[in-house]
């Protein structure tokens, strides 16, 4: 991807040309579609980052949820989700004698957490305490990023939970998993 290509696209867009027609012309003149798409994406990333920096700059640091309230949310989640899941798996495993059902329920809980984080902005503990997980645009993060964030949580907990402790010391109250997925936990 060359700077010339990006410069050309940027000038065409500023001149009011439609993105699709710009793409068609470039492909017609032999540019690879992959390179053209990447150039557009790079220009969008630059524009988005500028908008994001402005947006996040307007948000005061008090809008980010800190360590203690997020810890409280986790404790609430352990009562709302954790304990019922443990009771259900105990009863089913005892009744059926199939130990691996415990893992199936564990998986179901993880999938549920990912769904809630991605689509509804957080698990019940966060929602009750008025917090939401958002991306840099302030939107809910969706399933792919919720999976990435969940993977990041595994890393956060690996070395004595340092990834979680980062929340307390970071200016935007991001843990390691938040930094990996570029997410923020904000108060609504």
Partner 1 sequence: MLMQDIKKIFNSSYNLIMRNKRVIFPVLCSMLIPFVLVLTFVQLSGFGPLFSEYISLRHGFDQQKTSYLTNTENIGKQGYGMELLNYLGRDNDDSTYNSELEQYLSEKGYDWNRYSELVNINNLVLLGIFILIGIISVFYFACMAQSLIALYIKKRDTKISSTLRVTNHFLLRYFGLEIAIFTILLAPIFGAVLLITIAGFFIPILAVILGIIFVFGILAYLILVSLKLFFVIQSMFLNDQGVISSIKQSFQMTKGNLKQVIILGFVVYGISLFINGLISQPLQSAVSGFFFPTGPVAMSISLMMIFFFMLLQAAALTFSYVFLFYSYTNFKPGNK
Q: Binding residues for partner 1, per CB under 8 A?
A: 1, 34-35, 38, 41, 45, 49, 94, 96-104, 106-107, 110, 143-145, 147-148, 150-152, 154-155, 158, 179-182
Considering the complex, state which of residue 127 and residue 176 has its C-beta at the smaller distance from partner 1: 176
Report the nearest approach of partner 1 to the CB of residue 77 (Å): 17
Considering the complex, state which of residue 85 and residue 155 has its C-beta at the smaller distance from partner 1: 155
Considering the complex, state which of residue 129 and residue 182 has its C-beta at the smaller distance from partner 1: 182
What are the CA-CA distances from residue 186 to residues 41, 73, 130 (Å)?
27, 13, 8
Report the nearest approach of partner 1 to the CB of residue 128 (Å): 26
CA nearest neighbour of 127 among 166, 174, 70: 70
Report the nearest approach of partner 1 to the CB of residue 129 (Å): 26
Report the nearest approach of partner 1 to the CB of residue 66 (Å): 21
* Cβ contact 176:150 at 8 Å: no
* Cβ contact 114:146 at 8 Å: yes
Rounded-to-integer distance, Cα 125 and Cα 151, Å? 20
Considering the complex, state which of residue 129 and residue 151 has its C-beta at the smaller distance from partner 1: 151
Considering the complex, state which of residue 79 and residue 107 has its C-beta at the smaller distance from partner 1: 107
CA nearest neighbour of 33 among 43, 19, 23, 42: 23
What are the CA-CA distances from residue 179 to residues 25, 27, 55, 59, 138 (Å)?
38, 36, 18, 18, 15
Report the nearest approach of partner 1 to the CB of residue 130 (Å): 26
């Amino acid at each position: 991807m060359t700077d010339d290509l990006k410069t050309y696209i940027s000038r065409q867009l500023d001149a009011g040309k439609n993105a699709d027609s710009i793409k068609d012309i470039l492909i017609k003149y032999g540019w690879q579609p992959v390179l053209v798409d990447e150039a557009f994406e790079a220009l969008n990333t630059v524009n988005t980052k500028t908008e994001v920096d402005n947006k996040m700059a307007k948000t005061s640091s008090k809008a980010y949820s800190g360590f203690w309230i997020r810890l409280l949310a986790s404790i609430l989640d352990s009562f709302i989700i954790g304990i019922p899941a443990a009771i259900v798996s105990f009863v089913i495993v005892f009744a059926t004698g199939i130990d691996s059902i415990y893992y199936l329920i564990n998986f179901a809980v993880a999938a549920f957490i990912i769904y809630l984080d991605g689509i509804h902005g957080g698990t019940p503990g966060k929602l009750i305490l008025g917090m939401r997980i958002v991306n840099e645009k302030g939107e809910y993060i969706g399933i792919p990023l919720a999976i990435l964030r969940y993977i990041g949580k595994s890393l956060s907990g690996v070395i004595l939970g340092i990834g979680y402790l980062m929340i307390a010391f970071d200016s935007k109250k991001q843990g390691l998993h938040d930094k990996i997925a570029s997410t923020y936990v904000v108060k609504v």
